[in-house]
Amino acid sequence: MNVFRLKNSNSTNHKFNQCALVLIPLALAGFAVSPVQALTAVAAPLFPQSVKITAAGTAPSIRYTLDGTNPSSTHGTLIASGAVVSVAAGKTLKAIAYKIGFADSTITSATYRLAAKVATPTFAPDGYTSDLHSVSVTISCSTSGATIRYTTDRSTPTSTHGTIITSGSGVTIFPPAAGMTLKAMAYKSGLTNSAVKSADYYWDASGGR
133: left (phi > 0), else alpha (psi -120 to 50), else beta?
A: alpha
Comparison of pLDDT for 101 and 186, the residue scoring more: 186
In percent, the amount of the chain with pLDDT more than 70 equals 78
User: Given pLDDT bands bounded at 50, 70 and 90, which one contains residue 8?
Assistant: very low
Which are the contacts of 4, defined by CB distance < 8 A and separation ≥ 6?
15, 16, 18
pLDDT tens profile 175-198: 988 899 999 999 999 899 999 999
CA distances, 172 to each of 29, 122, 140 (Å): 64, 15, 14
More confident residue, 37 or 108: 108
Asked whether the predicted pLDDT for residue 33 surpasses 70, the reply is no
Report the alpha-carbon distance of residue 207 to residue 209 in Å, rounded: 6
The pTM of the whole model exceeds 0.75? no
Among 13-17, 86-90, 95-99, 141-145, the least confident range: 13-17
Going from the N-terminus, what domains does the chain have, and what CATH number goes with each?
26-114 (2.60.40), 122-203 (2.60.40)
Averaged pLDDT of the chain: 80
